[in-house]
Structure 1
Amino acid sequence: MQLKTFARKDIENKKVLVRVDFNVPFKDGRVSDDARIRAHWSTLGRLLDGGASVAMVSHFGRPKGGVDPSLSLRQIAPDVENAYGVRVRFVDDCVGPKVRAAMEALPRGEIVLLENVRFHPEEQKNDPDFASELAKPFDVFVMDAFSAAHRADASTSGVIPLLASFAGDLLVKEGEMLGAVSENPEKPYVLILGGAKVSDKIDVVGNLLDKATTILVGGGMAYTFLRAQRLEIGRSLCETDRLDFARETLEEAKAKGVRLLLPLDSVVASGLDATETKIADSSAMPAELMGLDIGPKTIELFASALKGARSVLWNGPMGVFENPLFAGGTKALCQAVADCTKDGAVTVIGGGDTAAAVREFGFDSKVSHVSTGGGASLEYCEGKKLPGMAPFEIR
């Protein structure tokens, strides 16, 4: 997908409101992962170099439409300064005279960070009057928060018709990379699906089944597919209301000539807090245990299926990777996807837990793109139009 972005002439000497996503992990008074913050620097740096006066607006947590000091963006201003190497001036509101005054007094080369936009209940209602108040101090709006682009909020879509509006560099990159692996992917095309629930991936399967060469199914969702084949899955996660969907998908994939591969074996244990594990074949799962990661035979099968791929989209880890006992499958797939990238494939990690795993294992620089949006990347790959993105689409 190609999106309309800005040139210097569009933003020079203009006051620019940028929707970023600073909803980052925050613990013990510090940001524990600043990847989302750093992802916006291309846009912000280009705006500053182009002579714009810049303010950033974002949500942070779920304050439920009221002021919550524990969710103030003031706390992360030092992390933003550290990531960008420029001074960040904080304003304790996102609308009103304080914002206008801050923009009038802003020295060249500095940036304003506005307070949590969700302190106003009108934000998530996409209230037109609130959107108008957000827009008033500014000449231009730049939407750069892909991870919030599936939300029709005042700060993601409500302001777009009110100002000269453009897609930021991150939004453009997300459209290009996710488009490359979901709209017209070069084949062989391998779709890797994991995570806990089949229900989260139904629309992705529906949109991409015709395009995929091979689909690899791991994670908790794999056990619903295995149960649909009347296999014993012990105490593994199973969505019984999705068994018919799993059977139909298996049949449809076969009819379309798409290889749909399920785990041959699993790392099994008594529970998430177990200290001992076993390897069990999918045809012989112990009734008292649960599958928490793909096993060595499956790792070999999936890695082999990835060889020669020209396009890869991965959404959902292969196991409960947060526990080292159940991280082997996800880590091995990271390496296999990195190998594909090295061989010239376009490889995209679909945000959320998969992105967290890829970063944790040190593979984020070894794939083509790690999406910043979990829910947004899912909806994009389902073929849906995102309200914070679609208005910039070049047809």
Structure 2
Amino acid sequence: MPAFKTLDDLHDISGKRVLVRVDLNVPVSEGKVTDATRIERVAPTIKELSAKGAKVILLAHFGRPKGEAVADMSLGQIVPAVEEVLDQAIAFAADCIGERAQDAIARMNSGDILLLENTRFHKGEEKNDAAFTAELAKNGDLYVNDAFSAAHRAHASTEGLAHHLPAYAGRTMQAELEALEKGLGNPARPVVAIVGGAKVSTKIDLLTNLVKKVDALVIGGGMANTFLAAQGIDVGKSLCEHDLAATAREIMIEAETAGCTIVLPEDGVVAREFKANAAHETVTVSAIPADAMMLDVGPKSVDKVNQWIGKAATLVWNGPLGAFEITPFDTATVAAAKHAADCTRTGKLVSVAGGGDTVSALNHAGVADDFSYVSTAGGAFLEWMEGKELPGVAVLSKTA
């Protein structure tokens, strides 16, 4: 991974205006933040800069206002939650450029924190418009990007600013990039990847990239049915993209060429209806009843997955093995997650996981804190796993 500057490279910043791009796109219900995880993730960077006497100016987006000022997408409503996490007063400006922003910044003292209004209230943000970026840049002396989750977008506040101001990675961005480097960039081998979820169609690029980089690829969830069907196995009424059989076979051929073992379920837990505690049975994958659907992988398959986890030095995980949201079809995902957590705790395994469903699944299993790193960055994490360059990361490397 190319070098990038971090907060360790920032010296004598007392009184300096530091524009900090953060991810504050948190869930809100009836004007209250219902999950402050993303605020908690960026708190260390904000506190460190404030403690060093910087004037900390936060840039963030919220929702998809499409370049219009939309009242219920104002960042003003999350100020109390940010103040609670930081245990510090936060000022708010009703715009991110222009007089209102400039006046609020002019009132700042060293160590103060100011949140500017939603950058996406301006069409120039998502267009990475040069004039809009220049207006943003006027408000700062330095730029810190701590929003890995938005790094796959070349927007004004995630990419453009790094061309105007000295640019640095915040602590969350730094931790994410270092974890990803251990995961796939320069990992300890053997490397095992677990990829689950519903559809192959959403993860073709991911699977194609992984088979070239990992020693074993475990495929679970609805995706596994497509691979089984591609081998001529009748998967009954299981979720399956039959039209992607040729794609699945191509991925298996690529894996064989690259020396990557693809691990598919040998048995599964099947039911006739998709609901919690539905009547179910465990069968081999070659004996799935025509009127049933596989909703989880079976115990033999879990043993095989756990054996691979046990052999691995590095594990990269994206997506559950079954329909973990409903019991008892969460059994395989929970068992594999707990085994990976045990191996990580004993120091035998570096485990990196990410993607929305994955975070939920690991939280459900009660082991998210035991993994080496759990990324909350959905799209950016996936694009990194697909081997794509992330504009918000690349620009930090280029300015290093």
Q: Structure 1 length normalisation: TM-score? A: 0.94
Superposition deviation, residue 211 in structure 1: 2.7
The aligned counterpart of 1:167 is 169
The aligned counterpart of 2:209 is 207
Report SS of the residue matched to 1:230. Answer: coil
Say yes or no: does 1:3 pair with 2:7. no
Superposition deviation, residue 232 in structure 1: 1.2
Going from structure 1 to structure 2, the CA distance change for 1:114 and 1:277 (only over 3 Å counts) comes to farther
Superposition deviation, residue 255 in structure 1: 4.0
Superposition deviation, residue 205 in structure 1: 2.5
Superposition deviation, residue 366 in structure 1: 0.2
Aligned ranges for residues 312-391 of structure 1 at < 5 Å? 312-344=315-347, 345-391=349-395
Superposition deviation, residue 308 in structure 1: 2.9
Write the distance in 2 (CA, Å) between the matches of 1:306 and 1:177.
18
Determine if contact 1:185/1:211 at 8 Å carries over to the other structure: no
The aligned counterpart of 1:286 is 289
Q: Which has the higher helix share?
A: 2
Residue identity in the other structure for 1:5: T
Residue identity in the other structure for 2:55: S
Say yes or no: does 1:91 pair with 2:93. yes
The aligned counterpart of 1:300 is 303
Larger displacement relative to structure 2 (109-118 or 184-193)? 109-118
The aligned counterpart of 1:40 is 42
Write the distance in 1 (CA, Å) between the matches of 2:118 and 2:273.
39
Aligned ranges for residues 1-395 of structure 1 at < 5 Å? 1=1, 2-6=3-7, 7-9=9-11, 11-273=13-275, 275-278=277-280, 279-344=282-347, 345-393=349-397
Determine if contact 1:267/1:277 at 8 Å carries over to the other structure: no
Number of residue pairs matched? 395
Going from structure 1 to structure 2, the CA distance change for 1:296 and 1:152 (only over 3 Å counts) comes to same
Larger displacement relative to structure 2 (105-114 or 147-156)? 105-114
Write the distance in 2 (CA, Å) between the matches of 1:241 and 1:103.
56
Superposition deviation, residue 277 in structure 1: 3.7
Write the distance in 2 (CA, Å) between the matches of 1:10 and 1:354.
41
Determine if contact 2:20/2:59 at 8 Å carries over to the other structure: yes
Any unmatched runs of 5+ in structure 2?
Answer: none
Superposition deviation, residue 229 in structure 1: 0.8
Write the distance in 1 (CA, Å) between the matches of 2:35 and 2:321.
22
Report SS of the residue matched to 1:389. Answer: helix
Any unmatched runs of 5+ in structure 1?
Answer: none
Residue identity in the other structure for 1:64: K
Report SS of the residue matched to 1:200. Answer: coil
Write the distance in 2 (CA, Å) between the matches of 1:378 and 1:10.
37
Superposition deviation, residue 240 in structure 1: 2.8
Determine if contact 2:13/2:54 at 8 Å carries over to the other structure: yes
Larger displacement relative to structure 2 (295-304 or 252-261)? 252-261
Determine if contact 1:146/1:372 at 8 Å carries over to the other structure: no
Superposition deviation, residue 386 in structure 1: 0.7
Superposition deviation, residue 276 in structure 1: 0.8
Determine if contact 1:312/1:348 at 8 Å carries over to the other structure: yes
Superposition deviation, residue 148 in structure 1: 0.3
Determine if contact 2:277/2:327 at 8 Å carries over to the other structure: no
Q: Structure 2 length normalisation: TM-score? A: 0.93
Determine if contact 1:222/1:262 at 8 Å carries over to the other structure: yes
Write the distance in 2 (CA, Å) between the matches of 1:10 and 1:237.
58
Identity among equivalent positions (%) equals 46
Superposition deviation, residue 236 in structure 1: 1.9
Determine if contact 1:225/1:246 at 8 Å carries over to the other structure: yes
Write the distance in 1 (CA, Å) between the matches of 2:260 and 2:191.
10
Write the distance in 2 (CA, Å) between the matches of 1:201 and 1:31.
31
Larger displacement relative to structure 2 (375-384 or 250-259)? 250-259
Determine if contact 2:79/2:90 at 8 Å carries over to the other structure: yes
Superposition deviation, residue 302 in structure 1: 0.8
Determine if contact 1:224/1:242 at 8 Å carries over to the other structure: yes
Write the distance in 2 (CA, Å) between the matches of 1:266 and 1:36.
36
Residue identity in the other structure for 1:307: G
Residue identity in the other structure for 1:391: V
Deviations 1:90-124 (A, max 9, x none): 22211111111111212444311122111222211
Larger displacement relative to structure 2 (226-235 or 107-116)? 107-116
Write the distance in 2 (CA, Å) between the matches of 1:251 and 1:8.
49
Deviations 1:6-29 (A, max 9, x none): 334263321011111111222243
Superposition deviation, residue 314 in structure 1: 0.3
Going from structure 1 to structure 2, the CA distance change for 1:53 and 1:374 (only over 3 Å counts) comes to same
Going from structure 1 to structure 2, the CA distance change for 1:193 and 1:107 (only over 3 Å counts) comes to same
Write the distance in 1 (CA, Å) between the matches of 2:12 and 2:302.
50
Larger displacement relative to structure 2 (207-216 or 24-33)? 24-33
Write the distance in 2 (CA, Å) between the matches of 1:320 and 1:152.
34
Going from structure 1 to structure 2, the CA distance change for 1:267 and 1:31 (only over 3 Å counts) comes to farther
Write the distance in 1 (CA, Å) between the matches of 2:109 and 2:161.
25
Write the distance in 2 (CA, Å) between the matches of 1:56 and 1:200.
33
Write the distance in 2 (CA, Å) between the matches of 1:284 and 1:57.
55
